[in-house]
Structure 1
Amino acid sequence: RSVIVKHKSIMTSPVIVRSANFHGGLFLLLTLNSQLLPTAGQQAKSNFGWEDSLFINSFKDASWPDGLIWYDIDPHLSPRVISAINYAVNYVNKYPNLCVMWLQRYPYKFDSSITSFVSFVRYKDNPSKHLCATHLNRIKGRQQPLFLGDYCVKDLIDEVKYPLFLETAILHEMSHKMGLRHEHQRPDRDCFIYIDRYRVAEFVKVQGNQYPSGFPYDYNSIVHYESDDDKTFHAHDNVRRILGRNNGTFSALDAHKIGHLYCGRKSYCAEQNNCASFYDFAKTNQRCWRKGPDYPTSFP
């Protein structure tokens, strides 16, 4: 089974389709990049240990003022889906030290002047392409749909092995709205994970200035894809290591990153007082610097 992910930058016009093995059926996760990229000439020092100021400066314009994210819910969504949305919203709002609050808006009432908000929308996807999707971060002055396709939702609910799988998927999309990009597309991801040689081109590494610097690779992030069969993704240090999560929660590093973005919490390496040496491992790790999918043809 596969997840198909669409990415589109506001700076470019093509839509690039990416895919990965994932629990459930065929999904479209539409994470449209609403961030403004740095101007020409702005570059990080290297592929690793990029300057955090580049990310922070680009994030400011796309962040939610005061950490307030207004949302509304399509009344055509089923009670089960609305329950999952409420679960995810309450989970975020009660999580300590995130400095983010999701607030429901009610059109034509006191908050009708709010122009930037998220709408959880029922979407009529199709049997061949199951769609659960949203934009990245805030887009100024407009409604921003978080699409929940009928077939996508059905497959998530039918995954009985994971009772909170629908809640996890919704929290994944909400995390994109709060500024978290896919962990498996970090510029340093090759140091940590294997991606099938025939599919590695589908998961383009994103430049460092679109990620906060100084955080360890998070195998269990809410925004890291899972893999059913270990063949599309697996960790270098342990083929059977669990990737991603399915229990409707953040990892500790997910919460740390959101707190870093909205509360001004120090990065992981700053808290550990080891930023100067944080990326030294990359100097001797050949996987970090490979230029192409130099993997064996057979699965180990």
Structure 2
Amino acid sequence: MRSSLSGLLGAILVLLTLDNRPLLVAGQDSSAFGWKDITFFDEFHEKQWKDGVIWFDIDPNLSPRVVSAIYYVVNYVNQLPNLCVKWLQRYPYKFDSNIKDYISFVDFMDTKKNPVCSVIVNRSGGQQGLRLGPYCIILRLTDVRGNLVLESAILHEMFHAMGLEHEHQRPDRDCFMYVASSLGNDRGAYGIINGSEILSGFPYDYNSITHYTVTRSEFHVHDDPNREIGRVNATMSELDLHKLSSLYCGRKTYCEEHDSCASFYDYAKTNPRCWRKGPEYN
């Protein structure tokens, strides 16, 4: 559908409503990134962690190295100023045994062919497993890019638990990233996510903790195939922090703070790749 619009690129204009949000014009998709911010926030707030408090416990079967990595990341998140999110450990059969919704860091039986580190996005209700498989863990512990790759993977999953999707699955990702069709369109990995299901109003963040990190011929930045992407130092990017503040603290989005929302939605004007169907460009 988008490829058929290439002849209209120069003629598409962006119109704004009174609250500085763009109106749909001929040829634009009503499910495009940004048009359903209200829908996103309504659904997010239905599932978000109450008062920004995320209770967690830890599977005793996880190794001391993994437990240490979990505490490292939890302490990092909790020490960030003005974040409005806290991860607090629950201890069953004590004062907090009546907590209904919580994250469990669990030892998950994955396979060498299918290593698993995963969690459901946002609060699902009840016990919610953040699954850490031994094959996923060993891949991170043997990664030559640094000593905090495992911690980075755990922070990545914690971001999902806090309600954020993969950056490279944004509806406008083709403007910025080459993603070969051979990687598939799985909802949990490389497939593009509907605009109503992901936070908009932010520039594309190559450095996000939610961005996959491995650069290769099938997955790289358009204009700089060797550019490093994602993070392996177990920290958030500035935009990661801003997104959490928007979700949990009520802070304005980046484009609202910089009065630049119009340019975010004008895909045709900023980059014609946004309108192409699929990752192969001829």
Instruction: Report the AA paired with residue 197 of structure 2.
Output: Q
Aligned to 2:118: 133
Q: Which moved more, 1:45-54 or 1:95-104?
A: 45-54
Q: Which residue of 2 aligns with 1:111?
A: 96
Equivalent residue, structure 2, for 1:219: 206
Is residue 245 from structure 1 mapped to residue 243 from structure 2 by the alignment? no
Q: Which amino acid aligns with 1:193?
A: M
Equivalences, count: 252
Moved over 4 A (4+): none
Superposed CA offset, 1:177-222 (max 9, x none): 0111011110111111111243354422111111122100011111
Corresponding residue SS for 1:136: coil
Structure 1 89/242 Cα, relative in aligned 2: closer, same or farther at 3 Å? same
Aligned runs of 1:219-298 on 2, under 5 Å?
A: 219-228=206-215, 230-283=216-269, 285-295=271-281
Q: How much is the aligned-residue C-alpha RMSD, in angstroms?
A: 1.8
1:238-287, CA deviations, whole angstroms, 9 ceiling, x for partnerless residues? 11111111110111111100110000010001110222333224335221
1:205 aligned residue (163, 170, 192) = 192
> Quick one: distance in 2 between partners of 1:46 and 1:283?
19
Q: Report the 3-state secondary structure (helix = DSSP H, G, I; strand = E; otherwise coil) of the residue aligned with 1:71.
A: strand
Shift in alpha-carbon separation, 1:70–1:283, aligned structure 2, 3 A: same
SS at match of 1:220: coil
Task: Pick closer, same or farther for the CA change 1:160–1:293 going to 2, 3 Å.
Answer: closer
Equivalent residue letter for 2:146: Y
5+ residue gaps in structure 1? 1-43
Task: Give the structure 2 partner of residue 195 of structure 1.
Answer: 179
**1:226 alignment partner, SS class:** coil
Match of 1:91 among 72, 76, 84: 76
1:62 aligns with one of 43, 47, 60: 47
Q: TM-score by structure 2 length?
A: 0.84
C-alpha distance after superposition, 1:118-177 (max 9, x if no partner)? 00111222222211111111012x100111111211121111431000000000000000
CA contact (8 A) 2:263 2:270 kept: no
Where in structure 2 are there 5+ consecutive unaligned residues? Answer: 1-28
% identical aligned pairs = 56
Q: Distance in 1 between matches of 2:115 and 2:260?
A: 43
**1:29-178 mapped onto 2 (5 Å cutoff):** 45=30, 47-140=32-125, 142-178=126-162
User: Is the alpha carbon distance of 1:79 and 1:64 closer, same or farther for their aligned partners in structure 2, counting shifts above 3 Å?
Assistant: same
User: Are 1:93 and 1:102, in contact at CA under 8 Å, matched by a contact in 2?
Assistant: yes
Q: Deviations over 1:15-60 (max 9, x none)?
A: xxxxxxxxxxxxxxxxxxxxxxxxxxxxx84524323211100101
| Structure 2 CA distance for aligned equivalents of residues 262 and 275 of structure 1 | 21
**Cα distance in 2 between the residues matched to 1:48 and 1:117:** 30
Q: Deviations for 1:92-138, whole angstroms, at most 9, x for unmatched residues?
A: 10112220000000000000000100001112222222111111110
| Residues 52, 209 of structure 1: 8 Å contact kept | yes
Give the Cα separation in 1 of the matches to 2:173 and 2:121.
Answer: 20
Verify the 8 A CA contact 1:197 1:295 in the aligned structure 2: no
Alpha-carbon distance change, 264 to 158 in structure 1, aligned in 2, over 3 angstroms? same
- Give 1 or 2 for the bigger CA radius of gyration: 2
Q: Structure 1 pair 164/290, CA: closer, same or farther in 2 (3 Å)? A: same
TM-score after normalising by structure 1:
0.80
